[in-house]
Amino acid sequence: MSQSHKKVWRQTLSFISDQYIVIFLALAAGYKQFFFSSSVLHKDRWSVSELLFIFLLPAVIFLPIFFVKRHKNKTAITVSLLFSILLVVDTVYYSYFSALPTAGLISSLGQTESIGPAIIALLQWWLILYFVDVIVVLIFHKKIDKLFVRLKTKYHVKKTNIKTVWTFVVLILISFCGIFISIGGINYFTQIVDRAYDTTSTANYYGVLGAHIIDVSRFVQEETTRLSSEQKKALADWVKNNTPKQTTNSLTGTAKGKNVIMIQVESLGGFVINQTIDGKEITPNLNRLAKTSQFFPNERFVLAAGHTSDTDFVANSSYFPLDDAAVFVRFGHDNFNSLPKTLIGNGYSAYAYHGFNRNFWNRNVALKSLGYQKFYAADNYPKGFDINMGLNDGTFLSKTAEYIKDQPKPSFSYAITLSSHVPFSTNDQTDKLGVDASKYPDQVGGYLDDINYTDSELGNFFTKLKAEGLYDDSLIIVYGDHTPVLPAFSAGTINYDPESVSEKEVPLVIKLPGQTSGKTYSNQGSHIDIMPTILDLLGIKTNQLMFGQSLFAEGKNSLKVCSDQMVVFPTSSDCNAMLVKEKNQSATIIRYNQFQNLPK
């Protein structure tokens, strides 16, 4: 071996002996990214550049540690531990919300206290695998150190030359930049930040670490920028040119002047309606209601970073939620255009009801911003036993019926149920369906019992409304906020597959005042259409921007349907491009609180 080759060998050995823990943990971080994307996000197709990127990005993060002189290994271990903790948080959060946490959700961390039992149930033993690299280092580093001491003594290796460190660092940076350019580079990165793709989608291309970096970049950008006067004018012009005019149809005004009762049912999936187990109907009261109402079995829910609170927002505003932040938490003080404000402007009173902590998802602030005159939360209800997350639906709905009776008429009442919430535990009050939970995958039996219980209490609620003369004198809307997160299962007449379209469908039932016979509508609409539909049935005209349509619009007035049954304004031949544009404009209005600056 020549002297030059010996020198290179000695320097390489010296560098590896000094940096092996950093190198090992950087490579392990890359593999953990790959594991997360493959096992949690279920990404099964990779390009070579994507694979190299997710391994090289952690290496870039670890590069400064190569120059640390004191506590180098402790620093590397600390960085690895923090990354592992981030992955655990991401995994648990994704298991619960089917999304990744974002910088914009930091202010809502307090929400986890209320859903602690459900989150704890998602902690699996295998999450310890995220820490295996650190465990290996702590167990074997002394033996490896001794091995390198013997090798360095044998080959007369001295201290690492700083030029060797820089050479390695430069090679990593050049490789990273090459891969970064190959998958889009700076322009593509900027587009992702500007277009506000959700963190989960971004993670499929840049890995979870890259997704969080992009998310933080977006968050900082949003917090430090304001709309210019030109941007405000461009937004107002777009709204003026694109806001569709309300049209009439055969049902327009059929509920004019009547009370409105809107019930949002927790985790009510469309797959339980008109289904049986052992000959027993799972939701007999909702089945009867659907038969005597305008029934939309295939309604699509619209959720993003705010999960259930997004349903509150969408149904009450006809705006799109945000992919990277809970609207209620980040922008709860916005001066929203909304359904309750519109109804109050037309002589209605408006009240919201929920049997839980009034501060959860910042509802106490956001519902007021939506225009509700009072929010009745857990502290307004009598003490009763809890089911899953909060006050049982029996006590909640019974007392809510009394509150509705006493409100100034005509009234708009918005009630949110809770007993069919995860973790789908049961008790003596919720086991009337007689489901043997041991026959089904985890939480399935509990869910079926709980949704049957909620249906039963909805039946009692309707009976109470009838006794007060409110049932036939009201426009009643019932819908699911979203489907439950359950594995595939078969039970009675149900064959549920979470990968199928039914995973996206919830029922929407609209009972007109005095209605006794119903009609079923297939494959039409989403939660974003609830507000314009209610205004249509009440015969109330408004020029405010709504991104949805009346579900009863007819003929040429029906708006185009894009992916997941989202509707778009009829101003473009490119449906999906228009949908992207609408979502971006909706996000701009929300982020910069431009509701009151829009043309009316």
| 530, pLDDT greater than 60 | yes
Which pair of tokens denotes residue 23? 């190198």
* Number of domains within the chain: 2
Answer yes or no: do 130 and 175 share one domain: yes
Q: Do 188 and 288 have their domain in common?
A: no
Residue 114 reports pLDDT greater than 60: no
Spell out where 31-172 has E strands. Answer: none
Average pLDDT over residues 281-298: 97
What is the domain-level CATH number for residue 307? Answer: 3.40.720.10
Distance CA 327, CA 179 (A): 35
CA dist., res. 152 & res. 92, Å (int) = 45
The boundaries of the domain holding residue 171 are: 3-223
In 364-491, DSSP assigns E strands to: 374-376, 386-387, 390-391, 411-416, 474-480, 489-491
pLDDT greater than 70 at residue 69: yes
> Collapsing DSSP states into helix, strand and coil, what is residue 506?
strand
Angle, CA of 521, 311 and 413, to the nearest 5°: 85
Tell me the sheet residues that pair with 561: 567
Q: Is the pLDDT of residue 96 over 80?
A: no
Which pLDDT band holds residue 155 (cuts at 50, 70, 90)? low
Q: Concatenated DSSP letters for 232-255?
A: HHHHHHHHHHHPPPP---TTTTTT
Q: Which two tokens stand for residue 494?
A: 């149900």
**pLDDT given for residue 361 in this prediction:** 87
Other CB atoms within a 10 A radius of the CB of residue 450 amount to: 30
Confidence label for 528 from pLDDT (cuts 50, 70 and 90) = very high
Q: Residue 568 — pLDDT band, cuts 50, 70, 90?
A: low
The reply to whether 233 falls in a domain is no
Q: What's phi and psi for 319, nearest 5 deg? A: -115, 160
- pLDDT (average), residues 351-375: 93
Q: Which helix (H) or strand (E) element contains residue 260?
A: strand 259-265
Last residue of a domain, one of 201, 223, 245: 223
- Bridge partners of residue 480, in order along the sequence: 265
Same domain as 462, residue 518:
yes
pLDDT band at residue 196 under the 50/70/90 scheme: very low
pLDDT band at 428 (very low <50, low <70, confident <90, very high): confident
Whether residue 240 lies inside any domain: the answer is no
Q: State the DSSP H helix or E strand holding residue 300, giving kind and residue range, or none if neither.
A: strand 294-300
- CB count in 10 Å sphere of residue 289: 23
| Domain identity same for 324 and 433 | yes
Nearest-angstrom CA–CA distance, 321 and 572: 22
CB 289 within 8 A of CB 517: no
Least confident of 63-67, 113-117, 264-268, 283-287: 113-117
Last-in-domain residue among 204, 223, 242: 223
CB 77 within 8 Å of CB 29: no
**Domain for residue 583, yes or no?**
yes
Q: What pLDDT is recorded for position 157?
A: 54
Cα 551 from Cα 218, distance rounded (Å): 35
Does residue 338 share a domain with residue 296?
yes
Measure CA of the first residue to CA of the last residue in the chain; give whole Å.
83
pLDDT per position as a tens digit, 480-511: 999 998 999 999 999 999 888 777 899 999 99
Q: Of 5-9, 131-135, 314-318, 528-532, which gets the smallest average pLDDT?
A: 5-9
Could you give the CA distance from residue 311 to residue 43 in angstroms, rounded to a whole number?
A: 28
User: What pLDDT score does 544 carry?
Assistant: 92
Q: Both 194 and 284 in a single domain?
A: no
Please determine, for residue 266, whether its predicted confidence score (pLDDT) is greater than 60.
yes
What is the helix (H) or strand (E) element at residue 568, kind and residue range? Answer: strand 567-568
In a domain, 45, yes or no: yes
Closest residue by Cα to residue 133 from 179, 87, 172, 165 = 87
Q: What is the mean pLDDT of residues 56-69?
A: 82
What pLDDT shows up at residue 454?
97
In a domain, 485, yes or no: yes
pLDDT of residue 546: 94
427 is written with which tokens? 């008790």
pTM metric for this prediction: 0.73
Biggest alpha carbon distance in the chain? Answer: 100
- Residue type present at position 505: E
Q: Identify the pLDDT of residue 461.
A: 98
Grouping H, G, I as helix, E, B as strand and the rest as coil, residue 45 is coil
**419/344 same-domain check:** yes
Q: Say yes or no to pLDDT of 590 above 90.
A: yes
| Statement: residue 191 has pLDDT above 80 | no
Asked which of 43-57, 419-433, 534-548, 581-595 is least confident by mean pLDDT, the reply is: 43-57
Establish if 416 belongs to a structural domain. Answer: yes
13 close to 155: Cβ distance less than 8 angstroms? yes
135 and 264 assigned to the same domain = no
Percent over 90 (pLDDT), the chain? 49
User: 532 and 592 share a domain?
Assistant: yes
**Do 175 and 261 fall into the same domain?**
no
From residue 82, how far is each of 15, 73, 85, 330, 450 by CA, in Å? Answer: 25, 14, 5, 25, 38
- Span 572-594, mean pLDDT? 86
Q: How many angstroms separate the CA atoms of 513 and 497, rounded? A: 36
In a domain, 234, yes or no: no
135 strand-pairing partners = none
Task: Mark whether 193 and 285 lie in a shared domain.
Answer: no
For residues 348 and 261, what is the distance between their CA atoms, to the nearest angstrom? 12
Question: Quick one: 403 and 514 in the same domain?
Answer: yes
More confident residue, 582 or 403: 403
Given the structure tokens 């989202």, which residue do they identify?
566
Query: What was the pLDDT predicted at 195?
Result: 47
Considering the domain boundaries, does residue 242 fall inside one?
Answer: no
pLDDT of the residue at 22? 86
pLDDT in tens, 138-152: 998 888 777 766 765
Model confidence at 235, pLDDT cuts 50, 70, 90, reads: very high
CA distances from 220 to 224, 472, 583 (A): 6, 52, 21
Burial 52-84 (b: 16+ CB within 10 A, else e): bbbbbbbbbebbebbeeeeebbebbbebbeebb
Residues 258, 513: contact at Cβ < 8 Å? yes
